[in-house]
Structure 1
Amino acid sequence: MLIIGFDWASDKHDVCILCPDGSVLYKGEVEHSAKGFEKLQQKIASLEPREDEVHVALEQHDGALLAWLLASGYAVYGINPKSADRARDIFHPSGEKDDRRDARMIADLLRNNLSYYKPMHAQSDETLNLRALARLRVSLVQEKAALKQKIRGRLAEWCPDVSKLCSDLERVWQRELLHRWPLHEDLTKAEDKDMKAFLSSKRLRAETKEAIQCVRASRATHVPRGRKTALRMEMKFPLDKLDTIIDQIKQVDEELESAYKSHSNHAVFNTLPIKATTSLAMIAGAFGDRRCNPADWSQYASWWGVGPVTVSSGKKKLVKRRRGCDWQVHQALLDFSFSTVFNVSGCWASDYYKRKLEEGHSHNGILRALSSRWVKILWTIWHKGIAYNEMFHREQIMLAKTKIRKSG
């Protein structure tokens, strides 16, 4: 058996190979390339021919190195960066940082705690595609929000009236208006025929057209002549990027919907009370398609930051939330829970939310607690491959309440 620790970097990786007794068999660097991976594979095979007896630990949770390790058939373990930092303090109390020593430290961390770690499992291509598309969409939405904020900030600073008029840049007419007349001064100087052609080409309500004409007729704020050229560019460039990203999100949405519908989890998750593709695709991809010997539902809730974390020491005991989690899945669960409360009639989640609100809990705290309950339900229907049943769940809630009354 071999224990291997990696200290990941962009161009090369430090690697340390240990025996079960802790003696070092190999220390070196691996080039971040197919050639480098092949050389390391040959080295590992010369020390241990059986892939299932090779245990690998690294902090990385995505990328070519991780994909190669999983494809090679090794038992791969993801190390939480916080755990690695704390272990580094044990091995190097002075705070010294060295990549080679870190590789040895990560290998020793796995060797001494092998029974506590669970190996990663290679997922199907369908799951990998679903996960990648869902996370790509989140990244694009964040970039879109940043661009919108940048444009609104410039408008609020120099053209406050136009900023109020174009407060929702998701609307095509607002972006096109800013493309043609980026400054308030440009809008006031627009030719009547050009403005008439613009308004007639858009299906706008009468009050919207009137608002545009009012801003056009109002007095523009003063912009120094030396700032106008650069300011127009500061509006144009992010607007061009925003148009591109909005189109890209539409393309990703189409691919995401197709990937979600063709995934093995769709048949089960499609029975849930809401059909929000973006949230459910993220959650379905996070669960994956390996239903054999999965982690307990509470571990999933903890990984995704919706499960309670109990801290007990002496006479002190408190419950807190976990912040170091997969925040993208965390947000998808919150969005899903929010929809089951406010967008679905007759769902048990709405009653739960109202009851907790009356007890004095905060909105965000209730959504996290509700998400934890939903994770238990999602895990059950996913693990067993059964459809969601609203009536069955309500019966279980009533049964639990009855048991509490009898025990009380």
Structure 2
Amino acid sequence: MEIFCGIDWAERHHDVAVVDQAGTLLVRRRITDDLAGFTALSAMLAEHGGEQFTAVDVAIETDRGLLVAALRAAGHRVFAINPKAVDRYRDRHSVSGAKSDPGDALVLAHLLRTDRDQHRPMPDDSELGQAVSVLARAHQDLIWARRQDANRLRSLLREFFPAALTAFTDLTTKTALTVLATAPTPTAAALLTRANLVDLLHAAGRGTRPAEAAHLTETFTAEELRQPAAVETAMGEAVRAIVRTLTATNESIRQLEHALAASFEQHPDAEIIDSLPGLGLVLGARVLGEFGDDPTRFTHAASRRNYAGTAPITRASGRHRAVLARYIRNKRLADACYLWAFAALTRSTGARSYYDRRRSAGDRHNAALRRPTPSRQQTPRPTPPLPDHPRALQRSPRLARTGHRLTTNSRGVSSGDVVDHTANNVVGTLPTFESAKRTRLRSGSAVGPQRAGRSFPHLTTD
């Protein structure tokens, strides 16, 4: 008998519900988050699953943790369901707004029973692939944390020590941290001699740089507004605390990079990934970790683009049609793909030429990086002139304001183009789909010339 299991997880305990194909609740229980709890869960699944072991489909709102790892190791198929989807599915059973942990477990079990084909089980990544993912995410988390600490330091220095911001454009470098650790206040920095600064630069790995030391001396001794002495001293201690945190974070990032390199280079796909223009050790490991190494996870390239968030979404209802950026995505992978595309501009002549073409066509930087490369070079037809009638663009203020021209080219249509699907023609071009929050296609007075007694739909913006 096929059964379905839903688990509402928590930190110390989990609520479990098991239903059969008819939707009958077979068992409901709360288990602890330890070995005893997993043993009880395994006994429940074995009792209701039949005499012989069969893999059970389990729905849970997370893809991490010891419980998930143990279920997968036991051979069960785990479906990591987005909490937003569970919230919407709960409304199918009750509109009162009532919610409970045992009830959510039952909702998860029914979700698999009725809509299993709409969800995917967790990918079967190798242990080495999972290890690369863990290290890559930890490395990225530290980089994000370092940026937050650097912003805190910058905000603090701006309040009492603006000369430090003039001297160091990047506060996370070893040079900036070494100098600020020694002289965290403008008073202490003004007392540093040129010889002191040369020694500090040498300790930071900059070598002997008298010209740079002279520039720092001039910057620190310039007259500036000052906080009261007691306040300045207190702010200096706060600077020292953030500097110590940044120094430790830099060292942790360096150690994680070594561990990440060791794991990534052992992976059989590392050579292929490293050969792609724009991908190196760190970005290659991030891409591998987020995509995974399960060859059956993505059925085609469009699935990968959707997962990475580089493909737009279309919202269409009646006469309304909008092409927007995809914000529900794997944000870590989207960040890695953005940096990958940017780095490829200096590593691939094809990527650079395509980027330049998209910028010339009106795309902004982010949209030009995000667009897919066309399968073949398109040669656009000549663009007809805009109509001379003074009221022709009255209902299209953005076109009139930006000077975008209408075109009847039916080829090379991209996500930023608004299309008349009945005539298969492009009737207007937006700057980019992320800059057009809402666009509409309406039937009405013609913007361009008439064809066969029918007016072209035209573009309006809200």
The bucket for the TM-score relative to the shorter chain is 0.7 to 0.9
CA distance in 2 between counterparts of 1:124 and 1:340 reads 28
For residues 127-186 of structure 1, the C-alpha deviation after alignment (integer angstroms, 9 at most, x for no partner) is: 011101111111000011011111111111101112211222233222111111100011
Which residue among 146, 154, 158 is the counterpart of 1:144?
146
Unaligned runs of at least 5 residues, structure 2: 381-410, 413-423, 426-462
CA distance in 1 between counterparts of 2:289 and 2:130 reads 7
Instruction: Give the conservation status (yes or no) of the 8 Å contact 1:5–1:58.
Output: yes
Equivalent residues in 2 for 1:64-143, closer than 5 Å: 64-143=66-145
Task: Provide the secondary structure at the position in 1 that maps to 2:371.
Answer: helix
1:344 aligns with: 347
Give the letter aligned to residue 359 of structure 1.
Answer: A
Q: TM-score, normalised to structure 1's length?
A: 0.86
Change over 3 Å in CA distance of 1:181–1:306 after alignment to 2: same
Instruction: Give the conservation status (yes or no) of the 8 Å contact 2:190–2:217.
Output: no
Alignment pair present for 1:397 and 2:398: no
CA distance in 1 between counterparts of 2:198 and 2:300 reads 63
Give the letter aligned to residue 149 of structure 1.
Answer: N
CA distance in 1 between counterparts of 2:89 and 2:197 reads 66
Alignment pair present for 1:359 and 2:361: yes
- 1:319: Cα distance to partner? 2.2
1:241 aligns with: 245
Which residue among 225, 230, 248 is the counterpart of 1:226?
230
Change over 3 Å in CA distance of 1:51–1:245 after alignment to 2: farther
Task: Say which structure, 1 or 2, has more relative contact order (CA 8 Å, 6+ apart).
Answer: 1
Equivalent residues in 2 for 1:212-291, closer than 5 Å: 212-291=216-295
* 279-288 vs 134-143, which moves further: 279-288
Change over 3 Å in CA distance of 1:187–1:34 after alignment to 2: same
- 1:30: Cα distance to partner? 1.8
CA distance in 2 between counterparts of 1:320 and 1:60 reads 28
1:11 aligns with: 12
2:458 aligns with: none
Task: Provide the secondary structure at the position in 2 that maps to 1:261.
Answer: helix
1:33 aligns with: 34
| Equivalent residue pairs, number | 381
Change over 3 Å in CA distance of 1:308–1:46 after alignment to 2: same
CA distance in 2 between counterparts of 1:305 and 1:204 reads 47
Instruction: Give the conservation status (yes or no) of the 8 Å contact 1:257–1:277.
Output: yes
Instruction: Give the conservation status (yes or no) of the 8 Å contact 1:166–1:174.
Output: yes
1:381 aligns with: none
Instruction: Give the conservation status (yes or no) of the 8 Å contact 2:185–2:233.
Output: no
Equivalent residues in 2 for 1:188-203, closer than 5 Å: 188-190=190-192, 194-195=196-197, 197-198=199-200, 202-203=206-207
1:312 aligns with: 316
CA distance in 2 between counterparts of 1:163 and 1:112 reads 59
* 137-146 vs 297-306, which moves further: 297-306
Change over 3 Å in CA distance of 1:273–1:192 after alignment to 2: closer
Instruction: Give the conservation status (yes or no) of the 8 Å contact 2:7–2:15.
Output: yes
1:175 aligns with: 177
Which residue among 215, 222, 227 is the counterpart of 1:211?
215
Higher share of residues assigned helix? 1
Instruction: Give the conservation status (yes or no) of the 8 Å contact 2:136–2:286.
Output: yes
Q: TM-score, normalised to structure 2's length?
A: 0.76
Give the letter aligned to residue 23 of structure 2.
Answer: G
Instruction: Give the conservation status (yes or no) of the 8 Å contact 2:194–2:217.
Output: no
- 1:215: Cα distance to partner? 2.8
Task: Provide the secondary structure at the position in 2 that maps to 1:17.
Answer: strand
Instruction: Give the conservation status (yes or no) of the 8 Å contact 1:4–1:17.
Output: yes
- 1:83: Cα distance to partner? 1.1
* 123-132 vs 43-52, which moves further: 43-52
Equivalent residues in 2 for 1:52-63, closer than 5 Å: 52-63=54-65
- 1:318: Cα distance to partner? 2.5
Which residue among 288, 300, 323 is the counterpart of 2:304?
300
CA distance in 2 between counterparts of 1:130 and 1:52 reads 31
Alignment pair present for 1:22 and 2:23: yes
CA distance in 2 between counterparts of 1:237 and 1:66 reads 39
Task: Provide the secondary structure at the position in 2 that maps to 1:178.
Answer: helix
Change over 3 Å in CA distance of 1:139–1:285 after alignment to 2: same
- 1:67: Cα distance to partner? 1.1
Unaligned runs of at least 5 residues, structure 1: 374-393
* 225-234 vs 99-108, which moves further: 225-234
* 217-226 vs 234-243, which moves further: 217-226
